[in-house]
Structure 1
Amino acid sequence: MTKEIAVIGLGQFGGSAVKQLHKLSADVTVIDISESKVKYYEDYAVECIVGSATDENMLKTIGIEHYDEVIIAIGEDIQTSILCTLILKELGVESITAKAQSNHHGKLLKKVGADNVLHPETEMGIRLANQLVNMSLVDYMEISDDTAIVEYDANERFINSALINIGIREKFGLNVIAIKRNKEVIVPPDPQMNILENDVLVIIGKIENLNRFESKMIKPKS
């Protein structure tokens, strides 16, 4: 079944979400107070609405409570994002994802009903810092306070070795959940498969174990 998702706020974050959701064949409704922004995204949405995020009558009229997910992408205006979250919760929206500007903002969003809170600027800063420190790190994403998914370029320690012989799970308590090879993503990877040059390992595990793995197995940036 096609998911129905509303995106409120069409800044850079909200606009990126709309385009990606469109690629994934979701039915997207866009809402923004700017008519020009709404018009820009009309090719990516099934419904385009010019209006305020806190207009309760408008939200009721479109049946916002029936959407599978509502994304509040207006983190810059803290008061509006909090009020919008509160209204959506009172209207019975099942799942609300909201963008936060800070940890304090995120806590307030959680208190008034946000099911998921995103900190895109913080997450981008973490990714950048990790990539600057370690040139083998392709991507980094925390999925909880103590767990992350990371992508590493295969270095000379791994190339032409079978995945099982590297001992990533046995030595470090980590799991290789995929291997990116050229344009192919191998999920799940066969433990007996050899790692090739230019492969990217996608690994999940506790952050402390990932740090231990990096220090032992990943060559630091010189």
Structure 2
Amino acid sequence: MFEKAKDVLVIGLGIFGYELAVKLAKEGLNVLAVDKNTKIINQIKDEVTDALVADAANEDALKELSVDKFDKIILGLSSNFESLILCITYLRKLGAKNIIAKASTNIQKEILLKIGADEVILPEKEIATKLAEKIARPNILDFFELGDETAVATIKVPEKFYNKSLAEIDLRRKHNITAIILIRDGRAKLIKDASLKLEKGDELVVAGEEDSIKKVFSK
């Protein structure tokens, strides 16, 4: 059933796992959703590729899922840490390729990485960080870290740049930031003319150093 690339197994359908499974399916991925709660499986079965009732802490049950066939396995079992540890241990034994686990604390994260998880996320911590960024820097609408302290961001043009051209602002020379796309009235276009004046309501997609972007567009 799950033969093509981008096959994902989501185990544990709390709020995090359920929403993630549905969104991945809507993105066109093959998603098998697994939980030991029959009611939850009945709720999600029409929104994903397949949904099965199974106990993630049972090695035989995991074996039946052919876990080695999936590109990614996402675990949303942080409410039961013992089950999560058993699940990761069995998944590794059964040849799972890429395990992403959800943890509740930093200590849990460290333990899960040591026993075989490839990646561990702390959703509550990440949400809190993003909310703090949104409140502190309302002009930065979206922010994507590329690594090596570089990022791509969508920003709302601040008032200090109204009626000024990119040539006047000179982001590249002064701040090592490159403006790539201008979004005006809902329409996006590549920036080719640095003499174009920015207006209230404009948005820019920019690339550069994380700290520079945050500093320039925070106010």
Normalised TM-score (structure 2): 0.82
Kindly report structure 1 stretches of 4+ aligned residues shifted beyond 6 Å: none
Partner of residue 54, structure 1 = 57
SS state at 1:44 partner: coil
Q: Sort the Cα spacing of 1:118 and 1:58 in 2 relative to 1 into closer, same or farther, 3 A.
A: same
User: Which residue, out of 24, 27, 34, partners 1:24?
Assistant: 27
Q: Confirm or deny: 8 A CA contact 1:2 1:25 kept in the other structure.
A: no
2:157 is matched with which residue: 144, 154, 157?
154
**Deviation of 1:181 (Å):** 4.8
Q: CA deviation at 1:168?
A: 3.1
Name the structure 2 match of 1:92. 95
Change (3 A) 1:205 1:77: farther
The answer on 1:171 being equivalent to 2:154 is: no
* Equivalences, count: 214
Q: How does 1:2-21 map to 2 (within 5 A)?
A: 2-21=5-24
Task: Measure the CA separation in 2 of the matches of 1:125 and 1:197.
Answer: 29
Structure 1 unaligned segments of length 5 or more: list them.
none
Specify the SS of the correspondent of 1:93. Answer: coil
Asked if structure 1 preserves the Cα contact closer than 8 Å seen for 2:161 and 2:169, the reply is yes
Residue in 2 that maps onto 1:137: 140
Identity of aligned residues (%): 29
Residues in 2 aligned to 1:89 and 1:185: alpha-carbon distance in whole angstroms: 45
Q: Please give the TM-score of this superposition, normalised by the length of structure 1.
A: 0.81
Q: Please give the secondary structure, in 2, of the residue aligned with 1:124.
A: helix
Report the counterpart of residue 79 of structure 1 in structure 2.
82
Higher-Rg member (1/2)? 2
Structure 2 residue identity aligned to 1:137: I
> What displacement does 1:16 show?
1.3
The range that moved more, 174-183 or 146-155, is: 174-183
Amino acid at match of 1:59: L
Unaligned runs of 5+ in 2: none
Q: Distance in 2 between matches of 1:79 and 1:181?
A: 51
Cα drift, residue 52 of structure 1: 1.2
> 1-side partners of 2:175 and 2:131: how far apart?
24
1:141–1:149 Cα contact (<8 Å) kept:
yes
SS in 1 for 2:160: coil
RMSD, matched Cα: 2.7
Q: Which secondary structure state, in structure 1, belongs to the residue aligned with residue 155 of structure 2?
A: strand
Asked if the contact 2:12/2:34 (under 8 Å) is kept, the reply is yes
